[in-house]
Chains A and B, each alone.
Chain A
């Protein structure tokens, strides 16, 4: 029997998962929207963010430094990846992009496995966020509550960069028409590098923020990648608000379905995606007619 505290706690769970999916997906969708690259290494970058943060935590014992290190390392990795490999694929067919990013993802996973083995690693949440919070009508892990806030702040920062800065303006213009932006004398390729770095950083940040919730293993990015793609499709490929909306919808679908029958959580998620594709082929907030 479903009690209302159980229902509300599952809604909270959906919110926490949804916020996380929204953040990872926003990185993916920004990269696709601007560069036209479907980055299948995005899940691996989420995973690397966790491990980079884990290493920093081992040395500093500080969760904040771990988050900083995880995010910045993956941003740097994204920039290097874009400069050395991805930029050669901008004008290549989508299949080539998919294969090269998929291959990179596999390489990243195996390198991490080589260094850290398959044993899971745990980054504890900061002391003040450990334990359970009594919300009056239910108990809920404090850190999971905090994740919603942390991710909301991160998404807000991303929003400001994209919608309140000159860089953001160029990025959004690039999403609409990169040839036009290029012809205006803006070095689109330098912008692309920054965009790839920011998109990667979103994944890395999510990876280390999520590490105390789900212990780290080399394969942790595989499952999240599939969910992230579903989120992007539901929200609309290339749409930042769409990624947020899609993430929250996906999180709630997975969570609420799990309350009744966990086995059908992914079935419902994919069913929702199919429904969206039928009703709005470009996603809920996607731009119609965009390639």
Chain B
């Protein structure tokens, strides 16, 4: 190591200073100057000076993403409950957790973002200034996630992202204070692309339905790029606003585009409505449907239209057959809320559990220390196997689950909508660090 440092140009004097610093650092816990080592930053230490630590949660409870937002909220609430009581499931993810995080009970506030960035930012700003939130979360819309990324960096408060599918969230809009657990456009396309080519063949014509914001544009672009390598072309890309009340005009353009495959990038209720209307216009009778980034809820709400449809997702409850932690999670969740947890709940729970572990391992809520602990890239347990966070862009490297909608005769129960056909490891799916223009900001 010494040779390596000297090769990089470190002088003898510098080396001596570094060594002295390391020795001094090891003695710090016993020294009164400790507090000065962690100067006040963001809501630290004010937010954790008492017996509690506050988390600001903003999820869409109204609007087109309301169903997913409610599921996500339940995941957060269960995670906080488990952390506060030191539940066995949390201990398996964060072994040092006893009760609370670093002995402090977690409190939280919830605000309805309605999937609108300005509402989410206002709510979180309030949680930060009035409640001294030590961590904030939100998403379900990538526009919200990107806005909260910027807020987190500006306020120096950690942002543990909720669902966000845009490449930009840990791409060009990445920040030092933001972390994302779930998969995104690039990884979705890289995982489902080969499956589609294998299933439908090369040189196909695809029509896209794209929601008009960062999530939609980046997912569509990633899908087009990946499928172009197999000769797939785009006949039309119909871009609709988030929460469009009616998709018929867009679908008429799709119906007349001569495409073989309809790739519906919409999400939440937008995906449900556009798919139902695609059926009304006879599009699903002449084109194959693909939903590259989807929430399992869509199967229930579209009432059979997902049968045989390929999709990429973060989580599906039958993964419990393969992953014991998923089984534990499903059981506790269903006992409390009466239904199988969906992707939002899984993402919420595991994101909080990872954050709790990072704080425990850092031994402090001091944000730069917690961030650096994430950036070690340590292997962490999750409900879909071992994962780690990539230091360069703070994206969790985790598998993408490819599912196919079960036909009615294949379903073994009312919640048995999807067959997991592949769990694609995360490593090979991600773009090189910095390929999407990520420049993490400062620690302080």
Contact = CB atoms under 8 A, between A and B. Distances in A.
A141 B246 contact: no
B108 interface: no
Given A17-B246, A141-B282, A119 B67 contact: yes
Contacts of B241: 263
Interface string B58-77: 00011110110010000000
A13 B303 CA distance: 24
Nearest to A261: B239
A34 interface: no
A119 B66 CA distance: 8
A34 B252 CA distance: 39
A263 B241 CA distance: 7
Interface string A93-114: 0000000000000000000010
Contacts of A119: 67, 297, 300-301
Interface in B191-244: 212, 238-241, 243
A283 B283 CA distance: 39
Contact of B248 (A3, A13, A218, A224): A13
A122 interface: yes
Given A120-B269, A215-B273, A132 B282 contact: yes
A120 B268 CA distance: 10
Interface in A177-220: 213-215, 217-220
A218 B243 CA distance: 13
Pick from B241, B246, B256, B301 the residue with the most CB of A within 10 Å: B246
Contacts of B245: 214, 220, 223-224
A149 interface: no
Contacts of B238: 262
Interface in A70-123: 113, 117-120, 122
Judged by DSSP, the binding face of A is helix
A120 B240 contact: no
A5 interface: yes
A231 to B, nearest CB: 14
A21 B429 CA distance: 47
A215 B272 contact: yes
A126 B297 CA distance: 26
Given A118-B66, A141-B282, A265 B249 contact: yes
Nearest to A133: B282
Contact of A219 (B62, B240, B300): B62
Contact of A117 (B67, B239, B240, B246): B67
A120 to B, nearest CB: 5
Interface in B245-281: 245-246, 248-250, 252-253, 255-256, 269, 272-273, 276-277, 280-281
Contact of B273 (A9, A214, A254, A263): A214
Interface in A212-266: 213-215, 217-220, 223-224, 254-255, 258-259, 262-263, 265
Interface in B38-74: 61-64, 66-67, 70
B269 A217 contact: yes
Contacts of B250: 258, 262
A213 B66 CA distance: 21
Nearest to B66: A118
A215 B281 contact: no
A139 interface: yes
Contacts of B252: 6, 9-10, 13, 258-259
Contact of A3 (B61, B243, B256): B256
Contact of B249 (A120, A214, A218, A254): A254
B67 A118 contact: yes
Given A141-B280, A262-B238, A120 B62 contact: no
B249 A255 contact: yes
Pick from B239, B252, B285 the residue with the most CB of A within 10 Å: B252
Interface string A156-176: 000000000000000000000
A157 to B, nearest CB: 25
B139 to A, nearest CB: 17
B256 A263 contact: no
A282 interface: no
Contacts of B276: 122, 215
Contacts of B248: 13, 16-17, 144, 213, 255
B350 to A, nearest CB: 24
Interface string A126-159: 0000001000000111011000000000000000
Nearest to A118: B66
A118 B70 contact: yes
B282 A139 contact: yes
A254 B297 CA distance: 30
Nearest to A139: B282
A219 B281 contact: no
A218 B277 CA distance: 18
A41 B243 CA distance: 20
A25 to B, nearest CB: 15
A215 B245 CA distance: 10
A258 B249 contact: yes
A113 B256 CA distance: 37
Contact of A120 (B212, B243, B272): B272
8 contacts: A3-B256, A118-B61, A119-B301, A139-B282, A215-B273, A215-B301, A219-B62, A262-B238
Interface of A: 3, 5-6, 9-10, 13, 16-17, 113, 117-120, 122, 132, 139-141, 143-144, 213-215, 217-220, 223-224, 254-255, 258-259, 262-263, 265
Nearest first, the 9 A-B pairs at minimum CB distance are A258-B249, A118-B66, A223-B245, A132-B282, A6-B256, A141-B280, A118-B67, A120-B301, A119-B67
Given A9-B255, A122-B301, 6 more contacts: A13-B249, A117-B67, A119-B300, A120-B273, A218-B62, A259-B249
